[in-house]
Amino acid sequence: MDAEAKPLIQALDLKEDTPPKIVGPAPCVTFSGVHDGLHIHVVWNGKDRETGVDNVGTVPAALSTYLSVLAFQPDVVISAGTAGGFKAQGAAIGDVFLGSAVINHDRRIPLPNFDKYGIGYSNCLATPNLQSSLGLKQGVVSSGNSLDYTDKCMEIMAQHSVAVKEMEAAAIAWACNLYHVPLMCVKAVTDIVDGDRATAEEFLENLHAAAAALQGTVPKVLTAMAGKRMDEL
């Protein structure tokens, strides 16, 4: 979302790519710059033409990632954004999690092998040193195309010990895996999924605070990555 991307763009002093690196009709917008010697590109999914709201969910995320990997040929992709957290996995409002793996919780296909495909379990880049040095929490990230969830969604997330729930990471992982590009997930908690407050209300209340947490954390993650090999993270 714009509210998630804008603080990162400002913190990293990135500029919108002109002319565009990804041309229409793809709606995504890209921003580029350098941070601690690293060439950084932030990709925002843009807005929906019909409604004017941010493009969210797995379809825009997969498209943006696919086109961005082609355009920028990155060494690593970072899915940075907000998420609902599970207090059962130690999440609190404002916490920032590094993803250990990603799944889909609402892609249920009860057919042989399609059930595994539907979950789409994919490991994230292992970053134990980075996690320890920055004092971040870690856990499985689960993606779905609804802000709310069903009882079956909750059952699947509990089976995989999901720590944070959002709407993009598993789709981003799918596109990354096509090109064998490692994925990191950095997710700031806006709401408590297994809490007692309405998700939409809590999300709107805490969105900007969580985006600020990302603004403070992502530059530190990038600084910790500078000059290191992937196996040193």
Mean pLDDT within 79-85: 97
Please report which confidence band the pLDDT of residue 67 belongs to, taking 50, 70 and 90 as the band edges: very high
% of the chain with per-residue pLDDT over 70: 100
Q: Who contacts 205 (Cβ-Cβ below 8 Å, separation ≥6)? A: none
Q: Which of the residues are catalytic?
A: 4, 191
Q: What is the pTM of this model?
A: 0.96
Sheet with 15-16, side-by-side order of all strands: 15-16, 29-35, 38-44
Domain boundaries, the chain: 2-232
Q: What is the pLDDT of residues 94-135, one digit of tens each?
A: 999 999 999 999 999 999 999 999 999 999 999 999 999 999
pLDDT of 20: 96
Q: What is the pLDDT of residues 158-193, one digit of tens each?
A: 999 999 999 999 999 999 999 999 999 999 999 999
Which residue has 């729930």 as its token pair?
Answer: 165
Q: What is the mean pLDDT of the chain?
A: 97
Please report which confidence band the pLDDT of residue 16 belongs to, taking 50, 70 and 90 as the band edges: very high
**CATH 3.40.50.300 corresponds to the domain 2-232:** no
Mean pLDDT within 199-212: 94
